[in-house]
Structure 1
């Protein structure tokens, strides 16, 4: 019986993964996006390996021809700049490992003895900061020398030349054939974070307006708020990734790099995430049922809910105005200014309500003060940007 359930579970998992794979293929075929970018990079890597092998292995019949396609395929990187930087580091690492291993073998005459001497040295050298993540190829280059038969200066020089040729092919293919640009992915990352922020703020506002203090729902919203912080971090990384993708890129003159507006959006979303996390934590603590955290009454929760609704609308119009497909959306910008003015009025009303209802006990003061502080900081950021 248990085995049957296991088989059924395995079949369900296989079907689910199959559907996910099919959906990924469909998106790559039908629309621009991350899936298509990954597919294009995979095809380019295969093309680079084929070109390198055709020249080094089939035409020139080099003794270590596999080195060229091997280097070429790994250097079709996610950005052209990274291909160039890693290509220089990798060739340097391979050259150092090859030269050191060749010299030691020729001096002592024993590949096994040379391996005992060379490998510790080149592995340590691989940690040199200037070689970056490519330092491990120093040991790889040395192993090729020590395990590939008779060691000669000519064979080692040919191996280095093949690595250089493979690097040139990989970099050229990545730079000349649809060089990758990640501006679209950056915009999508920012829009995803803003959409999640709006949904969380609306959900919290719904709960406060209905005076619903369900601990399970509050915990779920707080977990979503914590994930929102990670989404903002991913958006921040995407902005840097997009700028790097335009360095040494032939499409730089066609695609504009992400400007200050993207940095401003990350700053705003960062404050939104902090504010949302603080509010959801406060609601969760008020729902824990131990009576230590006072629950604000409807005279406070309803205006605070209105403030959250205004904040969610402001974020929606902010995203539409900044990241419209054809540039800034003038109409969305006008609506954003109106919503921000409404947000400021909502904050003033909330401040007045909190001042009038400020409790005398310290816990109540802390709760009301936290609500007001989070609201004020979020309003300042939305008004500023």
Structure 2
């Protein structure tokens, strides 16, 4: 809503300046440019303003030259538009290349092309770009942190939910269909990880060229801790995916080794619940309101994971010879789980620091 009102404000300011103050001949161009340059970050507004101005200048100059040379608007369109549209696909123009064709159409359909009109169009576009970028930079410059926090929380919650679902299934009689559902949940975790990484990059971008120094410094301070969080959660997701795939294979009727005994499965279920509890505590240490208390809880939970890991390892070692292949198959998963538990503890992320409001 704030960005929508800022876009409207930019358009109004650009129109008043162009029409009422400067008496520009084509004042409508200024608000047309300004309204689309109030972007989600200041950096994006600046970058796209440069790209858009390049495209508009190109379209205006080429259309003016061809229009003056050919004298027939339809023929000039047939020559100019293919050229401008092709150049508009240049990667350096990003998604702003289409404005070159739009500017060319304005020139060729608004009357007889001439040099003075071309200069006026480019200057009015510059005015609109300056107003759009200025409004976005000076009026509540956008800072994006909540999306990153929300997606990290979502990954944590989904990971804990998946681990508990697997634990519940192991204590009951699970089948191949249920194991496939666990795999689908793991794939959803990968998508959430991608969203978290994209949200973090978007938040980082919002700090670039942002005049609000306090918020900019806050975002830069939390950038690396949050990247560490996403990295740890990605490893957790790999572990959950491997675990779900393993149990899907075990549930397959053609799988050679027998299922583990109920005691082994009960130990595995307890181990997964301890991991889920540790992940919950890790999420609170990252995004909660009291990271110090959450860190103390995380220490206890990680200790519980290690104890559960030791009990599970002993349970696997105590299985009879028929379960030897099962032990070998899960050895790598147990190692990964221990590594994950160790990584949650040594350098606890502290992204909060002094509390800063985020927009």
TM-score, scaled to structure 1: 0.83
- Say whether 1:238 aligns with 2:238: no
Contact 1:358 1:364 in 2 (8 A): no
Identify the residue that residue 31 of structure 1 maps to in structure 2: none
3-state DSSP of counterpart to 2:113: coil
Displacement after TM superposition at 1:323 (Å):
2.0
Q: 1:64 aligns with which of 15, 26, 35?
A: 26
For residue 382 of structure 1, report the CA deviation from its aligned partner. Answer: 2.6
State which of 5, 12, 15 in structure 2 corresponds to 1:50: 12
Q: Residues 308-365 of structure 1: CA distance to partner in whole angstroms, max 9, x if unpaired? A: 111111111111112234xx62121112112212212222222232233275688645
Higher relative contact order (CA 8 A, sep 6+): 2
Rounded to whole Å, the distance in 2 between the matches of 1:331 and 1:367 is 38
Query: Which residue number in structure 1 is paired with residue 39 of structure 2?
Result: 77
8 Å CA contact 1:354–1:368 kept in 2: the answer is no
> Could you tell me which of 110, 119, 130 is aligned with 1:168?
130
- Unaligned runs of 5+ residues in structure 1 are 1-38
Contact 1:201-1:308 within 8 A present in 2 as well: yes
- Tell me if the contact between 2:257 and 2:323 (Cα under 8 Å) persists in the aligned partners: no
Deviations 1:27-65 (Å, cap 9, x if unpaired)? xxxxxxxxxxxx111111111112222222355443322
User: Mean alpha-carbon deviation: is it higher for 251-260 or for 263-272?
Assistant: 251-260
Q: Distance in 2 between matches of 1:254 and 1:140?
A: 37
1:289–1:116 Cα change, 3 Å: same
Answering whether residue 146 of structure 2 is matched by residue 179 of structure 1, we say no
Distance between the aligned counterparts of 1:67 and 1:222, measured in 2? 53
- Partner of residue 187 from structure 2, selected from 216, 226, 230: 226
TM-score relative to the length of structure 2? 0.88
Q: Provide the rounded CA distance (Å) in 1 between the counterparts of 2:292 and 2:236.
A: 23
Does the 8 Å CA contact 2:30/2:127 hold for their aligned counterparts? yes
**2:102 matched residue in structure 1:** 140
Partners of 1:307 and 1:346 within 8 A in 2: yes
Cα distance between partner residues in 2 of 1:201 and 1:365: 20
1:330 alignment partner in structure 2: 292
Aligned residues, how many?
Answer: 344
Q: Distance in 2 between matches of 1:202 and 1:101?
A: 64
Query: Which residue among 247, 266, 282 is the counterpart of 1:283?
Result: 247
Contact 1:80 1:247 in 2 (8 A): yes
- 1-structure distance, mates of 2:11, 2:249: 58
* Alignment RMSD (CA, Å): 2.2
Is residue 172 of structure 2 the alignment partner of residue 211 of structure 1? yes
Q: In the TM superposition, what is the alpha-carbon distance from 1:366 to its structure 2 partner?
A: 5.6
1:1-385 matches, cutoff 5 A: 39-208=1-170, 210-254=171-215, 256-257=218-219, 258-292=222-256, 294-325=258-289, 329-357=291-319, 359=321, 364=326, 367-369=329-331, 371-385=333-347
